[in-house]
A and B are shown apart, each in its own frame.
Chain A
């Protein structure tokens, strides 16, 4: 897949450093993501991968460095601002709205597309009703895409783990993001579920042209899906390049793979 060609840079991470107290979680990290690519971030446990995503979508504020997204450079921003600029994500430990149905979770993902004021909402007439129906249709398209029609009205808290991960992807997709951050979307899945999820990720990337930043521990999946890979270890950037380059990189092999892979 590394043969795919990409145009503009959508996201640029410049010399990001992040510490909690004396602990340096990210140390001078720089990489870019091009529009339309699938970019993986890998590294051993505690490497700082999730923290990197948290910096990108404004949940952590780095002490040093900047993020440039769609040409706009910033040091830090509030998460809802990142969302309104087109960044969506899923979480390593599922962060669904447990008391709500699948449909409501996905509809909440469309929050930023909905504008009618509380008075129309209170009446549920006119523009509020129209808006609700339009967004319902969009939500249903995502439900069809992810093949979760059967659990539409079920409270998500009671769904099996693999389905919850899928609903969470649906909620992120509902926002129609330009950049989708996926934090270990296949953790804890069996191989069949992993295949399904891989398929969805590829389809999202293909059909909607969504740029994807992916954190994943399964090397097979990473090598298959990624256009480029950045490797972190203890907050430091070990390598950055095409999957086969990264796989052949001795520093990566030593630090992360332990033994040469495959």
Chain B
């Protein structure tokens, strides 16, 4: 009985409401935070940090955002790539125009701009649901990418149509531009993700989270107990887009360094983030991380095993990767809609009983 709930009685509701009411869960979180800020940057080399950990963290932020909308509020969106592009172009314009505000402020501002755009594109959700809403968000994806390609103002009339992130510092340390170290980028991204994961958890367990889930589970009943669909749905779109916009801003400004909208933010991004939350777990903060981790790591592992291990042709390996993801999506949708996060919970339940089977 390493992991247990029994015997941990809560003397008051405040303790029971706590973020992680079970002591073991709290220790896990402390351990994760310690690992994130002390161990990982020490032991992982630049390649790992840059090729795996940074995209993992940034995609986790995007997955958290989509999970608010799709997992918690039940509104399907295929516009994630487009909203990431809004975040990226916002921060680009801001970095050029008002760098004096400081990088973190600009990231948050980009999120706020994307939130406004997301709420606007969320308006159809008040009338349409499910498949039709998915198609509407798909249209917004194509519209946004078209806009960023077409209107020169967004990329400052650059001849190539590319945007490149100028160097910026936080406390004198470079975090963007070609001179910035991977370690600096890592600390920046990890801090932002840690803070906003906590915010997501707070929102999910409070009134907003409950109202989103109420709309998802039974919108008529929700309305009859005073949940306003307008406010619940648009707030989900706004919060979701806020996260996705920040993810897009970091993806471009910190990780890629320069980007071209069609390539960096196309429809594949939308599907990738959607697959992350399906595999990780709909309606779960932890699931957003698990799904992002899984889909960032899996192609690299597969490539290492197939191409380097068995000498498989790399084109074939790419096909195998696509097939694996496809199969997993189907399996998770049919067998375990709550994804890896749910498997984790089942494992905890087993641990609670261990070593006694009953």
Contact = CB atoms under 8 A, between A and B. Distances in A.
B225 interface: yes
B225 A83 contact: yes
A79 B203 contact: no
Given A95-B221, A108-B210, A133-B13, A80 B227 contact: yes
- Which one of B16, B199, B225, B228 has the highest number of Cβ atoms from chain A below 10 Å of its Cβ? B225
Nearest to A54: B224
B224 A59 contact: yes
| Interface size classification for chain B | 20 to 34
25 contacts: A59-B220, A95-B220, A97-B218, A97-B222, A98-B218, A99-B213, A99-B216, A100-B217, A104-B210, A108-B211, A111-B210, A112-B226, A118-B208, A121-B202, A121-B206, A121-B207, A122-B199, A123-B202, A124-B19, A128-B206, A132-B207, A133-B13, A133-B14, A140-B13, A175-B225
Given A108-B214, A128-B206, A97 B13 contact: no
A171 B218 CA distance: 13
Contacts of A36: none
Given A80-B228, A108-B227, A128-B206, 6 more contacts: A95-B220, A100-B210, A107-B210, A108-B210, A118-B203, A121-B202
A107 B225 CA distance: 11
A132 B216 contact: no
B278 to A, nearest CB: 15
A98 B218 CA distance: 8
Given A108-B225, A108-B227, A175-B226, A100 B235 contact: no
Contact of B214 (A57, A83, A91, A100): A100
Contacts of B181: none
B226 A97 contact: no
A13 interface: no
A84 B239 CA distance: 25
Contacts of A96: 217-218, 221
Interface of A is mostly: helix
B226 A80 contact: yes
A96 B226 CA distance: 14
Contact of B17 (A136, A172, A175): A136
A137 interface: yes
Given A91-B221, A104-B210, A83 B226 contact: yes
A88 interface: yes
A171 B222 CA distance: 11
A114 interface: yes
Interface in B191-238: 199, 202-203, 205-208, 210-211, 213-214, 216-218, 220-228, 235
B70 to A, nearest CB: 13
Nearest to A122: B199
Contact of A109 (B16, B17, B216, B225): B225
Contacts of B203: 118, 121-122
Contact of A97 (B14, B208, B221): B221
